Structure 1
């Protein structure tokens, strides 16, 4: 492969990255705005709301199946786009259900119809997320030469973290105070913006004849034996544990961060929605800086970057716990910014390792496994955050202790991730990709 073929097609990667702008306008409606409305404005318990947010992640095994099926698509056909569109359209169509949910639960917090519609919306949303997420990552990976795949995934991730704070500011201005009419307008605007960016990103993003240069022509393994083969590698198991604990620890505050601002400091909806902007700016700065300074590193050389990011994400979470206890509001925005700085570094390192911990023949299946891990345990983390908040509030009667408990446990989990990541031999996994399967993997594959 000559130097030109090794070069990343930056304009194409940037166009693919705009997909994440649309995704952020969808995700923020469900993970930020709706949680705040239900928990703070409608005074519902955090646990069932967090469980709704987490529900879509509990279906995460679908991402492995979708990735596996897209890997099997024959040459001369579209491999990734049918799955991406097949997931994103249901996500968009689930959004108009949300205002009906808030209207019903505002009138009757125990409304079975309201909770039933919420469950239905989040199931549709979750299935769509899982079918399209791993296949989108595979499309980005396919678009880049092997040495630049980590860089390509990091670049599209920049769009995600930039657009979250932008969407947060826009939503905060459109609905500074909750009312049903404003929420309807917010949902319709969010749907329109999301569809426009997703359609632009995916327009001619894949050509039917486009297949990996080094694709393996041998028949594919059946699905379950392939999973056993992947799981038989100890490095993959340690990486799974790292991703799982990292997702739980980094996202436990997802459903309670904005209610934290309302319950502890009395901030209104518009002010707490801007929390996403404060830490998102930090993410953008550190993510862009980290991509620049590590641009000459291969994806499998980013373990130390991920460890530094974990440490600098854990510290502000510990400080958030202290802020909750002391109610020292002056430090809130700076610490949220610090959280974003650490999270940006961690994101670059972790995304690069995702690109490295794959094989050419089963790229989407591996990315499906890692996406499933992150989504499933992100969902468990979101639920755990709401549950810890409610249990601590019940035990202490104090909002400060309730929210501090969530933040402190997150910090401890991220520190533990550093120790786990030390056990993952990513360079060894990459070097061993082209070698014959070991005895354990061979038996696992033959067992099916």
Structure 2
């Protein structure tokens, strides 16, 4: 795959990021701190889209076998982007409606977050499948590095610009910022998408068997199951802070909306540096598994530093902790996504990308919702908000330590060998039928 195509794939990834940052970097803080909504309820809304994650397997398998007008991925990406942005721009209106009239507002919020979730799942599995289609195994580390470099760049830029725009917060300004982000996201996404995928795609051999049978072939592979568990736990730990980091900064250190929004830029800058270092330097010396272990270890250290900053009321330790967390996240992201693409087969890329997408979405849901519930429960029991945050961040660091043990069981070569046998048996059974 050429660098230009890689860049255009990155534009699609940027589009999804631009629609996501205002929700996890601004709206979560507004709902918890300014509007006084329970963290567990906010987390429940944010994870609601991820309850739809099983559809990623269905979408991936369906797009493998059912091109539209000769395109296997592009139509699904386009529809996903429209739904993702449409839902995202409705979320601040829903949050404000909850503050004015809770139950009707909550119903509105459920609709908005479900629309966003449908679009997110549809677009993510489709553009990651397209990345797998267009890149060879040797190109994938570069493909991932470029895509995530561009995504994190978009995260940083969005955080900085929206933070400055909301320096003097008002509900009306919040809504305008979300609509502006939606417009930018659609522009970036369609600039990257149009003309990217070669036309004339047909379903490959082995792709037309039933979805249930193909899913059984995945779940019947012990190496695939081990990777699913590992990936879910890793991402639940790393991503569980999404809903709490900004409210923690506001409650622990009295940070303003602009200041807590800039935390996303700090995290993103460190992640971006790590992506560059891993993609173009460390990948020459470290295997994917070694890089994944390094990333998880650094992210765990970041969580422990953030925990201490709250317990000791040391703001100077808070921001460096976020930077270390971001740096570890960057290395872990690059290496584990490369591992994820290796844990596919050419004939069923969409199905496997869908399965790993389910792990990602399940992890986001599990991590964010559990973090919100634990924060509320522990804060109530200890009569201390800081105690709730500290327990959450400490648990996330410990979860990353557990993934270091699980990582040793991951074997991509054994996965492919066993999957080839499993799929061959499946095709034989289908032929007999």
User: TM-score, with normalisation over the residues of structure 2?
Assistant: 0.95
**1:12 correspondence with 2:5:** yes
Q: Do structure 1's residue 336 and structure 2's residue 322 form an aligned pair? A: yes
The structure richer in helix per residue is 2
Name the counterpart of 2:415: 429
1:259-315 deviation digits (Å, cap 9, x = unpaired): 0001111111000011101111110111101001255589xx411111111111111
Distance 1:127 1:75 in 2: 19
Q: Which consecutive residues of structure 2, in runs of 5 or more, have no partner in the other structure?
A: none
Deviation readout 1:66-123 (Å, 9 max, x if unpaired): 1011100259711001111111101222234234223323334xx2111111100000
Alpha-carbon distance change, 96 to 293 in structure 1, aligned in 2, over 3 angstroms: closer
Question: Which of 297, 300, 307 is the aligned partner of 2:293?
Answer: 307
Once the two structures are superposed, residues 171-216 of structure 1 have per-residue CA deviations (whole angstroms, 9 ceiling, x without a partner) of: 10011243111112201211111111111110111121256xxx84
1:138-183, CA deviations, whole angstroms, 9 ceiling, x for partnerless residues? 1112111232134312321221122112111111001124311111
Which ranges of structure 1 fall in alignment gaps of 5 or more residues?
Answer: 1-7
Residue of 194, 205, 214 corresponding to 1:203: 194
Which residue of 128, 136, 139 maps to 2:127?
136
Seen in structure 2, the aligned counterparts of structure 1 residues 219 and 202 have a Cα distance that, compared at 3 Å, is closer
Q: Distance in 2 between matches of 1:47 and 1:75?
A: 41
> Which has the larger displacement, 179-188 or 262-271?
179-188
The answer to whether residue 342 in structure 2 is matched with residue 356 in structure 1 is yes
Q: Which shows bigger deviation, 260-269 or 71-80? A: 71-80
* Contact 1:232 1:444 survives alignment (8 Å): no
Tell me, yes or no, if the aligned pair for 1:258 and 1:272 is still in contact at 8 Å.
yes
Alignment pair present for 1:263 and 2:251? yes
Please, which of 169, 174, 190 is the counterpart of residue 165 of structure 2? 174
Task: After TM superposition, give the deviation of residue 431 of structure 1 in Å.
Answer: 4.9
- Residues in 1 aligned to 2:285 and 2:201: alpha-carbon distance in whole angstroms: 27
**Match among 224, 227, 242 for residue 254 of structure 1:** 242
Q: How many residues align?
A: 433
User: What secondary structure is seen at the aligned counterpart in 1 of 2:367?
Assistant: helix
1:236 to 205, 224, 244: 224
Pairwise CA RMSD? 2.3
| 3-state SS, counterpart of residue 43 of structure 1 | coil
Per the alignment, in what secondary structure is the counterpart of residue 193 of structure 1? Answer: helix
Deviation at 1:13, TM superposition (A): 0.3
Is 1:282 aligned to 2:275, yes or no? no
How many angstroms does 1:131 deviate by?
1.3
Q: 2:45 aligns with which of 33, 52, 64?
A: 52
Instruction: Tell me if 1:414 matches 2:394.
Output: no
CA displacement at 1:432 relative to structure 2: 5.0
Question: Pick from 365, 370, 386: which aligns with 1:384?
Answer: 370
Contact 1:94 1:125 (8 Å CA) reproduced:
yes
Partner Cα separation in structure 2 for residue 150 and residue 427 of structure 1: 17
Which residue matches 1:161? 152
Q: Is the aligned partner of 1:126 residue 2:117? A: yes
1:88/1:447 Cα in 2 relative to 1: closer, same or farther (>3 Å)?
farther
Question: Within 1, Cα distance between the matches of 2:431 and 2:290?
Answer: 37
Deviations 1:348-380 (A, max 9, x none): 110110110000110010000001111122111
1:436 alignment partner, SS class? helix
SS in 2 for 1:423: coil
Q: Post-superposition, which runs of at least 4 consecutive aligned residues in structure 1 deviate over 6 A? A: 438-448
- Identify the match of residue 352 of structure 2 among 366, 373, 397: 366
Q: Distance between the aligned counterparts of 1:361 and 1:293, measured in 2? A: 31
Q: For 1:206, what is the secondary structure of its paired residue?
A: coil
Q: Distance in 2 between matches of 1:443 and 1:239?
A: 26
Whether contact under 8 Å (1:151, 1:352) holds in the other structure is no
In the alignment, which residue of structure 2 is the partner of 1:192? 183
- When residues 75 and 387 of structure 1 are mapped into structure 2, their CA distance, relative to the original with a 3 A threshold, is closer
Aligned pair partner of 2:85 in 78, 84, 92? 92
